[in-house]
Structure 1
Amino acid sequence: MALNQKFFNLPFHKQLKGMAIGLLVAGVALGCSPTPTQTVEPEADTSAPTAPQPNTAVQPTAPNSDVAQSPATTDRQALIDQLLSTRQCQGCDLRGARLEAADLSGVDLSNAILIDADLERANLSNANLSGADLTSADLENANLTGANLNGVNFTNADLEDANLTNADVTGANFTGADLDGVIGLNR
């Protein structure tokens, strides 16, 4: 007896189970994953009043956000929140932080790690960044007027069109940095 004949001789519920498993295996093999498309809520019992239930609906996430954040991401966000509220975060590890167009005027980020940070168009006027590591950071069009940049590592940073008027760049390292259009940098 051929395999397909055996299949059709099975009870109908076993045939359905076999087809469902076959579809699932085929879907996984093709890179698909089963996802529920609709949930069915049980009918409410109207015979007795009940206490309000907490909202358990899944909340939408912001675009480009991770479903589960790593501890490093959560910690970095806590440090960013601290920076924005207290205006200081000395020695903080803000590696890869996204601070585009942020008002960071007068903040104290001395000895902070800002490797690969996005500070494009950020206002860092009169900020203290002494000893900070800004390797490969994006500071394009950033305002660093009057900032303390003493000993800052700008290796491979993008400082295109940044304003460094009256900034203290004593001992700063600009190796490989993009300095096109920088204003106020006395080399």
Structure 2
Amino acid sequence: MITTLLNYLANSSAITYIVLAHLSIYLIVTFWIFFYRNSALKILINNERKALEALTSRESKFSPLSALNKCSNNSNSKELLHACEINIIKDASSGISWMAIIASTSPFVGLFGTVVGILEAFAKFANETKVSFTVIAPAISEALVATAAGILVAIFAYTFHQILSRKVYELNVFLKAQSEIIIAKG
């Protein structure tokens, strides 16, 4: 496996290196955004869950850990609470759009690498009079590595995007429920 990979890299062109480097950067950014945003969202959701439980319990007070409380400064104003909800969700969802961009563009970056690889493979065979399938197949299969890499990056980016989007939605539900309770209690 490692020998095959090293052989592939030794026979690759500059475009292949650029495409694989680009996809590697995409993959690193995807994992970095996911782990950073996921941990931040877990903390936010946990704090807002506790704040909602405090509001619905006998205490009936705003939790000091709540981001909604920090933003609104214990205000019961519907407009201020709504503005705080929007601001918290905006901050919580930062970086998530990059996941969607990476998920949608990485297959095309990989496909570009594959097309260039196939063109280079056919250019190598242009001077030969007879080329068999056993000669063409390895060259084309090497070119398809870029597409596979692009699809792999897209799978991670799309999956992580969906997970983070769901967490932002969950946070939004907790914030809206708190706002409605606070407004109702006046």
**TM-score normalised over the length of structure 2:** 0.21
Higher RCO (C-alpha under 8 Å, 6+ residues apart): 2
Structure 1 length-normalised TM: 0.20
Task: Identify, as 1 or 2, the structure richer in helix.
Answer: 2
User: Who wins on radius of gyration, i.e. which is larger?
Assistant: 1
